[in-house]
Structure 1
Amino acid sequence: MKYRAVALLVLFVLALVAPALAADPAELSGRIQKRYAALGAFSAEFTQAIRNAASGDVEQRSGSFVFKKPTLVRWETVKPEKELLIVGKDAVWDYFEEDKEAYRYSVEEIINSKTMLRFLTGKANLTEDFLVVAGKAEEAGPGQAVLQLAPREPEPGLVMAKVWIDLATDMIARIYIQDFYANTNDLTLSGIVANPKLADSLFVFTPPKDARVHDNTPAKGRDLK
């Protein structure tokens, strides 16, 4: 499937429920989860470095991310090419402006798959699904903590992750993940805003008339109008 932003998004969402570095990760895990559970919405800018292990090439990406409960997401990449991922109420859209290609998926497919969106929607259990250990203190920036996550049942898209936590806000500042093939994705957040007022229209997408639409929703769930 050609929805790169989905893969990046679901890796990002896992970090939203991760605990901070401390002697008692379980206690801090509850603190971080409580923080995000209390948020109705948040937004942030992001920069990203995606490294291909086989070639050694690194792609630099940047853009913005917006989330509104229960499962509304707007992930917009502006560099190096424009890509818009919308997780709406009725469908998931991934649109590539330069190629004029729009890919449609069912919300259930994304939410119910083994992705980090399960954490965002409260359908996953961190302590049951992952082993959480303290990261190296020297890797943390000022006012930050680092931790490392290992899935109890690793999947090709995620075998290891590290997260950096802003201890002043109990929110995630950076995420680094590695897949089975040693490819890495390093995402840094900035300008985080908690509980901004977001219109539902931000999470609605209508493909441009000149866009080629690829409908990957189950046949029974398609709207063919």
Structure 2
Amino acid sequence: MRFSALFACAVALLFLTAGASHAAAPGITGEMQKKYEAMQSFTAEFTQRLVHQESGAEEVRKGTLAFQKPLRVRWETKAPHGELLVITDKEVWDYLPDEELAYQYSPEVVRDSRSVIQVITGQTRLDTDFSVEAEPDDNGLAVLRLYPKDPSPQLVEAILWVDKNTKLIRKAQILDFYGNTNEVTLTSLTPDAPIKAGTFQFTPPQGTTVENLMDQVAPERPLLQ
């Protein structure tokens, strides 16, 4: 069920004014920015928890993530359903093996700083694109609440849990316009990890239906959801 257009405008305005009123960004924000600017790659395992606000349905997924600058990503979900997302500077592949279906997109669909992918990989510009508010620490992790200065339906608020020693994101929770949450916890995170050749290459297996959507500015289905 979708909100009315009037209510949508009211909520968007609320987030804009709320973000504008926040104090200066916490000091750790600048330290994080420097860390991610210096880091060229990382690998991690992840647990993803998706909660649908209206139905209360919850789904937990597990998988692996590899990242390499400028924005190469391999996000592979192992369970309960396989999915492979491969991002390069030339194309984006979203492959669903259970459905024998692959979507092919232009890299423009993930270059928005408000995308879930940009947030999880630490590539968002916290100092320019978000208003950042410090929350109380959680089990030794610094907690930052982010309000995008230009909210989108996919991201109206985010929370980051940051290791205060390494300045790396250990968990990110994304709230979309409809109240759904997408929470990703990173484990076995290895900064500047060596990336194997071919990690960011993908060729659809024989028999796969390919939907070529290179001319679309937004994905057919939300990525990482």
Which of 200, 204, 207 is the equivalent residue of 1:203? 200
Contact residue 43 and residue 66 of structure 2 kept, 8 A: yes
Match in the other structure for 1:216: 213
Of the three residues 188, 191, 202, the one matched with 1:191 is: 188
Which residue in 2 is equivalent to 1:172? 169
Give the letter for the 2:153 counterpart: P
Q: Aligned match of 1:148 in 136, 145, 149?
A: 145
1:74 is matched with 74
* Equivalent residue, structure 1, for 2:88: 88
Change (3 A) 1:73 1:158: same
Q: Which residue of 2 aligns with 1:181?
A: 178
1:200–1:155 distance in 2 versus 1, CA, 3 Å: same
Aligned-partner Cα distance in 2 for 1:81–1:114: 26
- CA offset digits 1:180-210 (Å, max 9, x no partner): 1111111111000011111341100000111
Gaps of 5+ in 1: 1-22, 220-225
Identity of aligned residues (%): 38
Cα-Cα RMSD? 2.3
Cα separation, 1, equivalents of 2:49 and 2:122: 26
The structural deviation recorded for 1:114 is 5.1
> C-alpha separation between the residues in 2 aligned to 1:159 and 1:114?
9
The answer (yes or no) to whether the contact 1:45–1:64 under 8 Å persists in 2 is: yes
Measure the CA separation in 1 of the matches of 2:153 and 2:97: 29
Contact 1:70 1:121 in 2 (8 A): no
d(CA) in 1 for partners of 2:156, 2:114: 13
Instruction: Give the aligned length.
Output: 193
Please tell me whether residue 54 in structure 1 is matched to residue 54 in structure 2.
yes
AA partner of residue 166 (structure 1): D
